[in-house]
Amino acid sequence: MGLAENVEKFADAFSAYVSEIEAVAIGGYDQRYRKILYFTVLEGLAAARYRRGKSPSEALGSFVVNECGWIDGDRVSLPHIVAAMERTRAPEFTRLREAMYAKYASWGSRGPVYRDSDPTKADVQALRPAEASGPLKVPETGTMWMKLQHRALLYAYRNKLSHEAREQTLSFGDSFGNDPHYNSTQLGDDPIEWHLSFPAAFLAALCLRGIEALKAHCYSKLQDPYASFGFGHYLVDEFNDVAAHPILYPAPTQEL
């Protein structure tokens, strides 16, 4: 097959995956399972785009922001940066803490609150300690501020779903639209909690935008999307790449 045929074949296959995920009846936790499947599609697209040049988390974050056009992926989650400020006594964070606490108070007590209410990357960088060099880090917890960006939180959310079969935050489904948002909960006199939700429809939309973006990239760079993957029957990729790792001592021939 030529480049165009492979690009279209790849895109059609992934589009079919999205359609099937949307249509399949999975059971009582269908939205949760659907999200896991959408993440699988997104990671496949990201792998095709970056040719294994990035870690899985970096690839997914870069793909959803740069290719799928999710510009809010670079925003910093306000509840998460407030949590970081609550856990440090470092005086150099005073300006940042005061600004984030004031913004947090403006949210009130009822949701939904959408991600455009979160501070931008530039907002946080403008308030970083003047004497700080390198990435901003909370000393007590070792938390890097990039870990609080939505692109990183999306991957953390994916990990909870895929590896622990649970959502760390309460999910309110698609009741409040298709965009990521926060909703508030409170138990008795406990402080209000803001739960970040990534609706299944949001992930589906990322998948569809990502497919089109990958097609455009492949045509622009003359890149075969299948070239990013190792094909073969071994689960250890090095054994499938005979050109790089040739067989030196063949095993005896077996017969079926």
Residue 138 lies in a domain: no
Q: For the chain, what is the domain count?
A: 1
Q: Is residue 208 included in any domain, yes or no?
A: yes
Helix (H) or strand (E) holding 121: helix 121-126
Q: How many whole angstroms separate alpha carbon 16 and alpha carbon 10?
A: 10
Q: What angle do CA 136, 89, 143 make, to 5 degrees?
A: 35
Burial class (CB in 10 A: 0-12, 13-18, 19+), 3: middle
Q: Tokens 């984030």 belong to which residue? A: 100
**pLDDT tens-digit series, residues 134-181:** 678 888 998 998 999 999 999 999 999 999 888 777 665 556 678 999
For residue 59, tell me if it sits in a domain: yes
- Residue 135 inside a domain? The answer is no
Residue 207 lies in a domain: yes
> Is 33 part of a structural domain of the chain?
yes
pLDDT digits (tens, 9 = 90+) for 11-55: 999 999 999 999 988 887 888 899 999 999 999 999 999 977 789
pLDDT in tens, 96-146: 999 999 999 999 888 789 878 999 999 998 998 766 666 788 889 989 989
Which two tokens mark 122?
A: 């530039």
Question: Quick one: what percent of the chain has pLDDT higher than 70?
Answer: 95
The reported pLDDT for the residue numbered 165 is: 82
What is the residue whose two structure tokens read 């004497």?
131
Residue-range definition of the domain harbouring residue 208: 1-72+200-256
Q: Is 212 contained in some domain?
A: yes
Q: Is the pTM of this model over 0.85?
A: yes
| pLDDT of residue 235 exceeding 70 | yes
Q: Helix (H, G, I), strand (E, B), or coil: what is residue 171?
A: coil
Q: Is there a domain that residue 250 lies in? A: yes
Give the C-alpha distances (Å, rounded to integers) separating 215 from 9, 206, 229, 254.
10, 14, 16, 43
